[in-house]
């Protein structure tokens, strides 16, 4: 972890246990400054800072805020009731930063939401979180009550004449809960099924009203920008990707953990300096940026961790979760894990997605078991070519990009599986994180995930 002065969010090692501790560290000074400004001035400050969303896409937050601010009427010509939704689902394997932030400091999230709500002019702000995250929910509930009782949020926040309510909505343990449009469906009491393409929350969001959706880390950064300014924020990181990001580092390194680093830091620095490098007598083979981006081979580890550089690789920064595999691991088995995960989590609205992920997973399993053929390999590659962009959301494209990249970057591994099956019998757990022990730098994975899910997915995946 870099020195405290180099961090934006993790400014101290111990968690904030109550509101008084947060106020003693300058808490709610950002909201105080925001309330002394015009809403559009706040939005222009966020635009100037070039804060990009930390949930995966990296879209500039200020542009999104301005889009909703400018929506004066809904689709029926009535005055718009605007909403802010904080995406706190965090269902992607290899990622833990949002839960980590909530446990460390829920108050900066609430302050960021209050600032955004004021700037955008929202009727309500909602944190949507998985109901299985019971500890984080309890922390948020306590913090919301403290901030309401102290007058920082809720009715007539900070005697400003503005109501800034914040509430919590609960969702299922579904990967697709993290998809913006599916999350809005859940808040409305429906299943976590993404809406059709082209339905953008800025135009048609919660209850068909203009809505901003940002994730926990993005909103938690906002108070610091208000307090210290856009120029300060842009002095950290790169021109393309200002600020810091909290990275989740798991897998075959000596010190897995949570690390806040300036954007633009090389991936090799994250792995070798902060993560302690590979285990003794081993070499890093591949790094996955979650199940959503192309695999990163060892030859590309010096790539800077910023949105532009990672996209040019080509891969992606994603939500900052990096899973490292050394030469004792089977990279195709790792891909099978992610493919199976996506097949199980596909909601089934789009047949190209549910059957496409199922076909790819089934054939990857054949290769893993030594039963795959060249024809199976060609069928996988053909599916990866044709299923891109066919679904309502990005899940099916994630499948195609990641699996296709394994075949492109590791053709010798694929050829080995065709001839012999998998020669590396090491168990690779899916890094679906349940908890993190900071004292020992140990992640706890949800090993029972497939035991719970297999009954739902086996008929599609295995054709039985």
Give the model's confidence band at 199: pLDDT under 50 very low, under 70 low, under 90 confident, else very high. confident
Res 460 pLDDT > 50: no
Q: Which of 166-170, 328-332, 395-399 has the lowest mean pLDDT?
A: 395-399
Residue, of 24 and 463, whose pLDDT is higher: 24
Q: At what angle do helices 97-104 and 134-149 cross, to 10 degrees?
A: 40
pLDDT the model gives residue 327: 96
Residue range 138-164: average pLDDT?
97
Residue range 246-271: average pLDDT?
97
Cβ contacts of 75 within 8 Å, gap of 6 or more: 204, 208
- Mean pLDDT over all residues of the chain? 93
Q: Which of 161-170, 184-193, 383-392, 434-443 has the lowest mean pLDDT?
A: 383-392
**Could you tell me if 314 and 288 are in contact, meaning their C-beta atoms sit under 8 angstroms apart?**
no
pLDDT the model gives residue 262: 97
Q: How far is CA 394 from the centre of its chain?
A: 13
For residues 111 and 153, what is the distance between their CA atoms, to the nearest angstrom?
8
pLDDT the model gives residue 215: 96
Res 313 pLDDT > 80: yes
pLDDT the model gives residue 252: 97
Specify the DSSP class assigned to residue 208.
G
Task: Tokens for 14, please give them.
Answer: 């111990």
In sequence order, the β-bridge partners of residue 167 are 126
- If DSSP codes are grouped into helix, strand and coil, which group holds residue 229? coil
CATH architecture for residues 244-462: Roll (3.10)
Task: Tokens for 240, please give them.
Answer: 């393309």
Res 455 pLDDT > 60: no
pLDDT the model gives residue 461: 47
List Cβ<8 Å contacts ≥24 apart for 266-270: 266/301, 266/302, 266/303, 266/304, 266/305, 267/296, 267/300, 267/301, 267/302, 267/303, 267/304, 267/305, 267/322, 268/301, 268/302, 270/305, 270/322
Give the model's confidence band at 14: pLDDT under 50 very low, under 70 low, under 90 confident, else very high. very high
Output the pTM of the full model.
0.93
The domain spans of the chain are: 4-234, 244-462
Pairing of the two strands 321-326 and 244-251: parallel
pLDDT the model gives residue 178: 93
Res 32 pLDDT > 90: yes
**Could you tell me if 113 and 150 are in contact, meaning their C-beta atoms sit under 8 angstroms apart?**
no
- If DSSP codes are grouped into helix, strand and coil, which group holds residue 74? coil
pLDDT the model gives residue 464: 42
How many residues in total does the chain contain?
464
For residues 127 and 125, what is the distance between their CA atoms, to the nearest angstrom?
7
Domain 4-234, classified CATH 3.40.50.11540, yes or no: yes
pLDDT the model gives residue 2: 55
Q: What would the pLDDT profile of 75-134 be if each residue is shown by its tens digit?
A: 788 899 999 999 999 989 999 999 999 999 999 999 999 999 999 999 999 999 999 999
Count CB-CB contacts under 10 A for residue 425. 7
For residues 318 and 310, what is the distance between their CA atoms, to the nearest angstrom?
9
For residues 310 and 284, what is the distance between their CA atoms, to the nearest angstrom?
18
**DSSP H or E stretch at residue 245:** strand 244-251
- Between vectors from CA 178 to CA 136 and to CA 6, what angle results, nearest 5°? 60
Share of the chain above pLDDT 90, in %: 84
């Amino acid at each position: 972890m870099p020195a405290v002065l180099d961090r934006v969010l993790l400014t101290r090692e111990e968690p904030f246990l109550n509101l008084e501790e947060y106020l003693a560290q300058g808490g709610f000074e950002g909201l105080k400054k925001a309330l002394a400004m015009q809403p559009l001035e706040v939005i222009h400050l966020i635009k100037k800072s070039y804060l990009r969303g930390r949930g995966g896409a990296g879209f500039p937050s200020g542009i999104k805020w301005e889009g909703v601010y400018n929506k004066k009427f809904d689709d029926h010509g009535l005055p718009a009731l605007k909403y802010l939704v904080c995406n706190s689902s965090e269902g992607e394997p290899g990622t833990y930063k949002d839960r980590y932030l909530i446990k460390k400091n829920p108050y900066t999230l609430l302050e960021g939401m209050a600032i955004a709500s004021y700037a955008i002019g929202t009727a309500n702000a909602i944190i949507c979180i998985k109901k299985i995250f019971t500890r984080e929910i309890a922390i948020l509930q306590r913090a919301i009550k403290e901030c309401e009782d102290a007058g920082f949020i809720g009715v007539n926040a900070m005697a400003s004449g503005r109501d800034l309510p914040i509430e919590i909505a609960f969702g299922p343990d579904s990967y697709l809960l993290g998809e913006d449009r599916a999350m809005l469906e859940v808040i409305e009491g429906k299943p976590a099924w993404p809406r059709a393409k082209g339905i953008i929350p800025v135009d048609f969001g919660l209850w068909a009203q203009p809505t901003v959706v940002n994730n926990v880390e993005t909103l938690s950064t906002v108070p610091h920008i208000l307090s210290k300014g856009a120029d300060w924020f842009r002095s950290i990181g790169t021109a393309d990707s200002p600020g810091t990001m909290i990275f989740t580092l798991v897998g075959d390194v000596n010190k897995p953990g949570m690390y806040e680093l300036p954007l633009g830091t090389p991936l090799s620095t994250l792995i070798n300096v902060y993560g302690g490098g590979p285990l003794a007598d081993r070499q890093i083979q591949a790094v996955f940026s979650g199940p959503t981006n192309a695999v990163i081979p060892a030859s590309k580890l010096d790539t800077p961790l910023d949105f532009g550089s990672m996209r040019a690789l080509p891969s992606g920064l994603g939500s900052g979760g990096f899973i490292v595999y050394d030469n004792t691991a089977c990279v195709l088995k790792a891909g099978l894990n992610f493919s199976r995960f996506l097949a199980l989590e596909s909601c089934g609205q789009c047949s190209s997605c549910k059957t496409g992920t199922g076909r790819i997973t089934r054939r990857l399993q054949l290769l893993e078991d030594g039963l795959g053929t060249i024809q199976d390999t060609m069928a996988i590659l053909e599916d990866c070519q044709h299923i891109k962009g066919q679904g309502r959301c990005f899940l099916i494209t994630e499948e195609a990009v990641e699996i296709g990249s394994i075949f492109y970057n590791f053709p010798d591994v694929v050829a080995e599986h065709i001839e012999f099956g998998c020669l590396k019998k090491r168990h690779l757990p899916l890094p679906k994180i349940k908890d993190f022990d900071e004292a020992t730098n140990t992640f706890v994975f949800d090993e029972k995930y497939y035991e719970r899910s297999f009954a739902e997915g086996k008929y599609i995946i295995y054709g039985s």
